[in-house]
Amino acid sequence: MLVRFEDARGKTHFVNAVYVKAVLPKGPDMCHIEISGRATRLKVKMTAQNAAEIINAAMPNSLEAILAAEDQNHTDQMAAAAAI
């Protein structure tokens, strides 16, 4: 499931919860979200606890859904590499 976050500049990002690798606290009301496949972390104005709760709520309930998402990511990367 996609989760909507607003970065520190107010730009909207939709993040697939399955690809979140880490939520890192950066002060009392700021955190960075590390996402697989992105070179930079997403900086958001909320506590790491709140961000983690939102991401956890969006996670699929089954391991099969996570594995299917990983397979799709791999397929997408291979297609992008072939297009180059």
Taking the C-alpha atoms of residue 43 and residue 54, their distance in angstroms, rounded to an integer, is: 15
pLDDT of residue 22: 96
Q: What is the dihedral of CA 31, 32, 33, 37, to 10 degrees?
A: 180
Residue-level pLDDT, tens digit, the chain, 84 residues = 899 999 999 999 999 998 999 999 999 999 999 999 899 999 999 999 999 999 999 987 766 777 787 888 889 899 888 888
E-state strands within 7-84:
12-16, 20-25, 31-35, 42-44
pLDDT of residue 71: 84
Taking the C-alpha atoms of residue 24 and residue 49, their distance in angstroms, rounded to an integer, is: 9
| pTM score, whole prediction | 0.71
